[in-house]
Amino acid sequence: MKMTGVTHIMKRDLLSLQDLSGEEVVDLLELTEQLKQDNYQLNNQLKGKTVALVFQKPSNRTRVSFEVGIFQLGGNCVYLGPTEINLGVRESTADVSKTLSRYLDGIVARTHAHQDVIELAEHSSVPIINGLSDLYHPCQALTDIFSIKEKFGKTEGLTLAYIGDGNNVCNSLLLGCAKVGLNMRIATPPNYEPQKNIIELAEGYAKETNTEITVTNSPQDAVKGADVIYSDVWVSMGQEEESKKRLNDFNGYQINEKLTDLATKDFIFMHCLPAHRGQEVTAEVIDGEHSIVFDQAENRLHTQKAILISLLGEKP
């Protein structure tokens, strides 16, 4: 398969979307589109290379999409769960990183603390890809932006309304949307807003792309006239002890048909999954005609293949 226009556009690691310029994000989106159009054709971009998945959390989409993507690119994948490597417990994160660097060509890390991803990168001689941390989820945000562009043919001038917790997905969307000219409105309960420093960072990018960022406590204000409605779980992995309080605090933030009526006629609904029908979203919305959640899930494969090629692939 001929890969036109592919270059090593990124820095050594992808820890957050701070590591990419707006131009580099656009390049990744174009490569993702090309890979999807090629309809899962195998190629040798990762021939002879081995990538490890160092996962401290359970995973469905991230694990399977990376494993399949690495295979389709001609590479080999090694899965290392918490029973094999418990970062900082059985062995220091630095020692794990230094050791794995001697065997591997790249590492995808799915951790609890973002600091673990940073430490892996600091001591690794091979690229580190953040497959999810408590602060950022860059692969998901890149997938989401690609999915929006796929549906609308553009990102500039559109408005995404994110309703829910100001979590890792929200943080990465903030940075990604600001870099590609996609307006973002965030509605959270009081005290669940994204971190102030991340909002300020995104606002800096937004000035360059003439993008609007709004943070509010009103789901109605966020959704009114929006082109995209985005939801995520109210209780993430590791927050189970807060479940009762969170469910109470997020009362009124459910995505339902009454709320979606405020959006544009052709709005799309997005969710990074897993979803809890009846909590953050009703079954009518997530299973309805406006939902693209399984297109999103598929696009993780194509987007992550683009990331792998950009970081690890052979130049054409």
Q: Are residues 256 and 195 in the same domain?
A: yes
In the prediction, which pLDDT does 10 show? 40
Residue 225 lies in a domain: yes
Q: Are residues 156 and 267 in the same domain?
A: yes
Report the distance separating Cα 43 and Cα 75, nearest Å. Answer: 10
Residue 84 lies in a domain: yes
Residue 6 lies in a domain: no
pLDDT in tens, 6-45: 444 443 799 999 999 999 999 999 999 999 998 666 678 9
Q: Are residues 292 and 305 in the same domain?
A: no
Task: For residue 194, give the amino acid letter.
Answer: P
Q: Residue 289: exposed, middle, or buried by beta-carbon count in 10 A (0-12, 13-18, 19+)?
A: exposed
Residue 9 lies in a domain: no
107 DSSP β-pair partners: 52, 128
Q: Are residues 21 and 106 in the same domain?
A: yes
pLDDT in tens, 225-271: 999 999 999 987 666 778 899 999 999 999 999 999 999 999 999 99
Q: Are residues 80 and 154 in the same domain?
A: no
Residue 288 lies in a domain: yes
Domain of 153, CATH number, reads 3.40.50.1370
Distances in Å between the Cα of 275 and the Cα atoms of 40, 230, 254, 282 are 27, 12, 12, 10
Residue 24 lies in a domain: yes
Q: What pTM value is reported for the model?
A: 0.94
Residues written for the chain: 316
Q: How many structural domains does the chain have?
A: 2
Q: Give φ, ψ of 202 to 5 degrees.
A: -65, -40
pLDDT in tens, 263-287: 999 999 999 999 999 999 999 999 9
In the prediction, which pLDDT does 54 show? 98
Q: Are residues 57 and 120 in the same domain?
A: yes
Q: Are residues 255 and 281 in the same domain?
A: yes
In the prediction, which pLDDT does 313 show? 84
Residue 3 lies in a domain: no
Q: Are residues 165 and 242 in the same domain?
A: yes
Q: Are residues 152 and 257 in the same domain?
A: yes
Q: Are residues 164 and 269 in the same domain?
A: yes
Residues with catalytic function: 110, 137, 140, 232, 272, 300
Q: Are residues 269 and 200 in the same domain?
A: yes
- Cβ neighbours for 106, distance < 8 A, ≥ 6 positions apart: 49, 51, 52, 126, 127, 128, 129, 308, 311, 312
Which residue range(s) make up the domain with 242?
A: 140-296
Average pLDDT, the chain: 93
In the prediction, which pLDDT does 236 show? 75
Q: Are residues 162 and 288 in the same domain?
A: yes
Task: For residue 255, give the amino acid letter.
Answer: I
DSSP state of 195: P
Q: Is the pLDDT of residue 118 over 60?
A: yes
Contact 71, 78 (CB under 8 A): no
Radius of gyration of the chain (CA): 19
Residue 10 lies in a domain: no
